[in-house]
Amino acid sequence: MAETKWMQPVAIKSPFLGEVAVTGPFHALTILMDYWPAMAGAHYMKARIACSAALQGRVDPEHARIAFQLAAKEADEATRAMQGAFSGRSGAGSALS
């Protein structure tokens, strides 16, 4: 099976990997499973399912791309809230964007 690539990569900033251009569902699924800052959340779960389904040819890879973007936004918001809670202010720093 040839690896599916997205028409346009998704740029994220990971606390574990730094700045990364995520190129397709396999790359995204690897990051979601091994390097995600908070393995929880509705968009996180939907992105894992969508990326897996895209790799199996059950959904359009661009659907998985959108799901991954939403998961990245969700993780960024959760990380900002956590950092704000620890520092006593909101909106501090960004783990994924």
Would you list the DSSP string of the chain?
Answer: -PPP--SS-EEEEETTTEEEEE-SHHHHHHHHHHS-S---SHHHHHHHHHHHHHHTTSS-HHHHHHHHHHHHHHHHHHHHHHHHHHHTSSS---S--
Give yes or no for a contact between 29 and 55, defined as CB atoms under 8 angstroms apart: yes
Tell me: the pLDDT tens digits for 7-28?
999 999 988 899 999 999 999 9
Confidence category of residue 2, pLDDT binned at 50, 70, 90: low
| C-alpha–C-alpha distance, residues 35 and 76, integer Å | 14
pTM as predicted: 0.82
pLDDT in tens, 42-86: 999 999 999 999 999 999 999 999 999 999 999 988 888 777 665
